[in-house]
């Protein structure tokens, strides 16, 4: 059996790094004996926890029986026995750590945004290509059951010619005075890499380009609806980053067709839908609505004919006119599924399908979205080349 892959995991004291990447991904993979290889064998993984807060890192290591942990990031990146570096830090620290890891010959897997500027994100992709390492970026939403079902409908030609996508994302994040906020305070400070546009446009780019087509332009309007919030210590602070972003994206589909996507993203909205994120795709032959786990669809032949009459109350139950798209398979945790795919690519010495260039396109879309809002105009998106 091959030696275990040693994975330095930086940022596991944060919510996503701890819950999704450590507890729900790497530890279950380790418990299962590692990732399954094509020859039927397994390649085990060994996490090495990295963080700046010694007490927190030690506590997590002891809680889960993890032998190796450290607060010395430079030391672990220089360690020749470390195979993979994973980064779930705050955005402002990510690019420097990834650069050091790539130059040290480590394979890298990272949350996004990969950098706080397009130039820095492109440089990371260039360094990884030159180093010949396997680099991967977390594209977790593509592994959600709801979007897997939606992608299946696209692949099977269910929609006919795709016309549009409408997305709604968000929920009310409490200000932190009366009730604790569900998100960390740095999310609302631009100097720390916070902001809805920076956070979510990276997601929307890979969702759109991997399900419908290439994003060609963006028209966006950002807002800071809640100007004052309270941090983890109960101190009031001024929110300097946007907490909402309203955007129109123009896409080119695989056959050259134009597709219009509209996505509203807000941490200042109360949920009146079936999930915290929903995407509706409409086409000439059918429509579908996908959330995190469910997907419902309506074919052209089953589409009713509503008649507008403002003088009478609506008696139709529109939701009951849609059919559930079956899973037809068991879906694992999306974060774990992508981890297993990435680690299999590391073991095989091949590129991961979601590399650092895809992350750079997400950073580009966020930058141009912010610019569109500031300048009040539509902005075309140029192609990135290394």
| Rounded Cα–Cα distance for residues 209 and 202 (Å) | 11
What tokens were used for 144? 């959600």
Tell me phi and psi for residue 180, to 5 degrees.
-65, 145
The torsion defined by the Cα of 125, 129, 133 and 136, in degrees rounded to 10, comes to: 40
Dihedrals φ, ψ of 203, to 5°?
-70, -45
pLDDT along the chain (386 residues), means of 10: 88 95 98 94 96 97 97 97 96 95 98 95 98 97 97 98 98 96 94 94 98 98 98 97 98 97 98 97 98 97 92 91 94 95 97 98 98 98 94
CA distance 213 to 215: 7
Summarize pLDDT for 299-343 with one digit per residue, the tens: 999 999 988 999 999 889 999 999 999 999 889 999 999 999 999
Which domains are assigned to the chain? 5-140+334-355 (3.40.50.720), 142-328+365-373 (3.30.360.10)
Distance of alpha carbon 211 from alpha carbon 154, whole angstroms: 7
> In this predicted structure, what is the pLDDT of residue 3?
86
pLDDT score at 91:
87
CA torsion angle 101 105 110 112 (round to 10)? 70
Give the CA distances from residue 177 to residues 4, 49, 173, in Å, rounded to whole numbers and listed in that order: 46, 33, 11
Predicted model pTM: 0.94
3-state secondary structure of 48: strand
Cα–Cα separations (whole angstroms), residue 220 to 107, 113, 249, 280, 372: 35, 19, 9, 19, 6
Q: How far apart are CA 249 and CA 261, in angstroms?
A: 5
Per the listing, tokens 């299999």 go with 344
């Amino acid at each position: 059996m091959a030696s275990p892959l040693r994975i330095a995991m930086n940022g596991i004291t944060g919510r996503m790094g701890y819950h999704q990447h450590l507890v729900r991904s790497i530890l279950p993979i380790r418990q299962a004996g590692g990732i399954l290889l094509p020859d039927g064998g397994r390649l085990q993984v060994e996490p090495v926890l990295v963080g700046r807060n010694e007490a927190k890192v030690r506590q997590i290591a002891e809680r889960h029986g993890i032998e190796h942990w450290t607060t010395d990031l430079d030391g672990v990146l220089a360690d020749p026995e470390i195979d993979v570096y994973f980064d779930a830090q705050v955005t402002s620290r990510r690019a420097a750590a990834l650069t050091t890891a790539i130059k040290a010959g480590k394979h890298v897997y990272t949350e996004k945004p990969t950098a706080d500027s397009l130039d820095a994100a492109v440089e990371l992709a260039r360094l990884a290509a030159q180093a010949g390492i396997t680099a991967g970026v977390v594209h977790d939403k593509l592994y959600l059951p709801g979007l897997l079902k939606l992608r299946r409908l696209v692949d099977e030609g269910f929609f006919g010619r795709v016309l549009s996508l409408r997305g709604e994302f968000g929920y009310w994040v409490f200000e932190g005075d009366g009730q604790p906020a569900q998100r960390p305070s740095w999310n609302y400070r631009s100097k720390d890499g916070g902001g809805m546009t920076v956070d979510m446009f990276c997601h929307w780019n890979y969702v759109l380009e991997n399900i419908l087509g290439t994003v060609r332009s963006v028209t966006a309007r950002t807002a800071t609806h809640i100007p004052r919030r309270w941090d983890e210590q109960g101190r009031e602070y001024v929110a300097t980053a946007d907490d909402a972003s309203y955007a129109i994206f123009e896409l080119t589909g695989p056959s050259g067709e134009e597709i219009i996507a509209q996505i509203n993203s807000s941490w200042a909205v109360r949920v009146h839908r079936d999930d915290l994120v929903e995407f509706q795709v409409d086409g000439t032959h059918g429509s579908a609505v996908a959330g995190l786990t469910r997907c419902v669809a309506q074919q052209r032949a089953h589409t009713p004919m509503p008649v507008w009459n403002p003088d009478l109350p609506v008696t139709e139950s529109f939701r009951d006119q849609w059919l559930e798209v079956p899973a037809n398979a068991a879906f694992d945790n999306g974060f774990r599924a992508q981890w297993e795919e990435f680690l299999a690519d590391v073991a095989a010495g091949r590129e991961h399908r979601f590399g650092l260039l895809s992350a750079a396109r997400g950073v580009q879309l966020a930058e141009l979205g912010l610019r569109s809002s500031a300048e009040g105009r539509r902005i075309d998106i140029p192609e990135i080349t290394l």
